């Protein structure tokens, strides 16, 4: 568990009432995990670019752990 990475997709960020991606770590309690790699990627299901950015980050994290 200590070597795990966490990728959170904050979907529907294109909607007017969507939570700002900067507020999500606080709501999920991620700040105490500062010694672990985690990343919040704001996404919209209609655009794959943001989704792939998150997967790119995850791929790099996993590659660096080898």
Q: What is the DSSP string of 5-46?
A: EEEEEETTTTSTTPPPGGGHHHHHT-GGGTTSEEEEEE-BTT
Q: Is 11 annotated as a binding residue?
A: yes
Q: Which pair of structure tokens corresponds to residue 4?
A: 């795990």
Confidence of residue 24 (pLDDT cuts 50, 70, 90): very high
> Does pLDDT of 1 surpass 80?
no
> Does pLDDT of 66 surpass 80?
no
Q: Is 56 annotated as a binding residue?
A: no
Q: What is the pLDDT of residue 3?
A: 80
Q: Which pair of structure tokens corresponds to residue 7?
A: 């990728």
Q: Is 17 annotated as a binding residue?
A: no
Q: What is the pLDDT of residue 10?
A: 92
Give tens-digit pLDDT for 29-64: 998 887 889 999 999 888 888 999 999 999 999 998
Q: How far is CA 20 from the centre of its chain?
A: 13
Q: Is 14 annotated as a binding residue?
A: yes
Residue 57 and residue 27 in contact, taking contact as beta carbons nearer than 8 Å: no
Q: Which residue range(s) make up the domain with 36?
A: 5-64
């Amino acid at each position: 568990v200590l070597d795990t990475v966490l990728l959170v997709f904050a979907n529907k960020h294109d909607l007017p009432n969507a939570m700002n991606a900067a507020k999500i770590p606080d709501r999920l309690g991620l700040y105490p995990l500062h010694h672990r790699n985690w990343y919040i990627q704001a996404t919209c299901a209609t655009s794959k670019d943001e989704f792939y950015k998150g997967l790119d980050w995850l791929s790099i994290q996993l590659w660096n752990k080898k």
